[in-house]
Amino acid sequence: MPADRREVATGAPGDNAFSVVDSEPVYTGKVVSLRRDVVRMSDGELAVREVVGHPGAVGVVAIDENDHVVLVNQYRHPLRARLDELPAGLLDVADEPAVDAAQRELAEEARLSADRWETLIDLNPSPGFSDEAIRIFLARDLAEAPHPDDFVVAHEEATMTVRRVPLAEAVQAALDGRITNAAAVAGVLAAEVARGRRWAGLRRADAPWAGRPMQAGSGGS
């Protein structure tokens, strides 16, 4: 049984535990894996669930002094389309703190650094079939930064573009369907709420993340 997931997960108070009684790996790829779990349900019945394993990811809502948000635009092959997104990437370095990964991705994709980092939101984009978890950070007090020395521009990133748009405009783009990337939609909407609260109540950048996969995978952003 894979070591990066819990054998038992509990539901709402009063529910019986759901337990994994068997697990069979089906496929392991560059980024994702697929396994077939046999789960004992709360009523005692057994059910088969196919689960896509994912190493987890980080995204960054980078806000400048004019309340503009940094968006990247890149080709996404499964959709055969270019999407506006947040600077983001996989947790593909073993034991790397999530905020360090976010800082690296911001430098790689937007050539920016930030003096202020906070945890904005945590996401499970597709909990019905995947254990993918994404932490979205808020980055402020931005400054220009060079690409990391080991960064190589290739594949989709070779045609990636970067721009800054007013946060309100990004929110409207999410509401009218021009921004559809799940992390970007959630991130800009959460940032709008947080701005309305004068950025109060956000968690530290190194806040505990119980939902983070325990073992990093490998792959691209």
Q: What is the pLDDT of residue 158?
A: 84
pLDDT of residue 12: 56
Residue 10: the pLDDT is: 47
Identify the active-site residue in 156, 157, 169, 192: 157
0.85 cut: is pTM over it? yes
How high is the pLDDT of residue 150? 74
Q: What is the pLDDT of residue 16?
A: 65
Pick the CATH number of 57-204 from 3.30.9.60, 3.20.20.70, 3.40.640.10, 3.90.79.10: 3.90.79.10
At 144-189, the pLDDT tens digits run 998 777 777 778 888 999 999 999 999 999 999 999 999 999 999 9
Q: What pLDDT is attached to residue 174? A: 98
Show the CA angle centred on residue 50, arms to residues 49 and 53, nearest 5°: 125
Q: What are phi and psi of 97, to 5 degrees?
A: -55, 140
CA–CA separation, 90 and 134 (whole Å):
9
Per-residue pLDDT of the chain (221 residues; tens, 9 = 90+): 444 444 445 455 445 689 999 999 999 999 999 999 999 999 999 999 999 999 999 999 999 999 999 999 999 999 999 999 999 999 999 889 999 999 999 999 999 999 999 999 999 999 999 999 999 999 999 999 987 777 777 788 889 999 999 999 999 999 999 999 999 999 999 999 999 999 999 999 999 999 998 654 333 44
Give catalytic status of residue 157 as yes or no: yes
Domain ranges of the chain: 8-53, 57-204
